[in-house]
Amino acid sequence: MNYNRFITKPLNTMQKKHTIIVLGSTNTDMVIRSRRIPAPGETVSGGTFLMNPGGKGANQAVAVARLGGKATKCIFVAKVGNDLFGRDTARRMKADGIDARLIVDTHEPSGTALILVDKNGQNCISVALGANGTLSSDDIYPIFKEELPLASALLMQLETPLPTVLFAAQAAKAAGVPVILNPAPATKLPSALYRCLEWITPNESEAELLTGIPVTDAASAAKAAKVLQKRGVKNVLITLGAKGCWCSLTQKLHPANKVKAVDCVAAGDTFNGAFVVALAEGRPCEEAIAFAQKASAISVTRLGAQSSVPRRDEIQA
């Protein structure tokens, strides 16, 4: 692929800072919240059922739109089925002010996820990718050719095909657009992808899978970050749950806000969306992390995925 076609002339800062592209998945989450998560072969009764919009890409797009406020334009690129869930995704994105560029797959259904949440807010998730799994570089090429010249950041995850993620990252790099990758769910990445990344934002288990280093504290996070930087990533931010996050740019652990968690679904997605918004606004790294931690802390006090994402005025308050 000739990526030179994505190279653009520099834009002024005021023009560039308003547009964030999110490429990723959209799912319908079917959630059961009960006292504990069943062991294999076990049935746990007495839970409550909720059906919520989700998918890591859609969650992060919602976070960007709600936390970016009026000054931020969010473009969400995804693939859906020709079904009720796909049409509902379009409706919900519009309601949040998101410019959703949804490609329709006439053969695969929209993505779904089954989520179990215990009384402490911990969860386990099983995802059926559906149309998310067929998103291709051909699907996104016309959108990227049109929108990359105006973008200030590209945010991605790994619930869509890896070749498509790599294509998008290389196109963004050629256009001079910073790429932020949240490597979830974790998988081995091609070396070419690392070299395109301005930021990578794994949690502790994802960082271990990528580097082979068990991450439990600031010291082990620093070691894992060095491995990722040697592969070509410019900056590394490793989230450590209730302990906070470790940043290679600040070279320190940033403690998390203390809250009573009821549901951790989409906490990481909220963090990533908020972090990218703050970076796109030109905030210093520490301030961007603090903004993201406040947003994530609010999200874990609420049930659901997109329903838990706060708005900008809540963070400012």
Catalytic residue annotation: 269
Closest to 157 in 3D by CA, of 183, 175, 180: 183
Q: What Å distances lie between residue 152 and 71, 176, 186, 223, 235, CA to CA?
A: 12, 9, 25, 30, 17
Q: What Å distances lie between residue 155 and 29, 40, 42, 272, CA to CA?
A: 21, 35, 38, 8
Q: What Å distances lie between residue 241 and 98, 123, 156, 282, CA to CA?
A: 28, 13, 20, 26
Strands of the sheet containing 19-23, edge to edge, are: 99-105, 73-81, 19-23, 153-156, 179-181, 199-200, 235-239, 245-247, 252-254
Helix (H) or strand (E) holding 59: helix 56-68
3-state SS class at 79 = strand
Closest to 241 in 3D by CA, of 221, 268, 213: 268
Q: Which pair of tokens denotes residue 191? A: 């070396």
DSSP string, 108-142: SPPEEEEEEE-TTS-EEEEEE-GGGGG--HHHHHH
- Measured between alpha carbons, how far is 134 from 92 in angstroms, rounded to an integer? 22
- Tell me if 159 sits within 8 A of 194, measured CB to CB: no
The dihedrals phi and psi of 37, each to the nearest 5 degrees, come to -85, 130
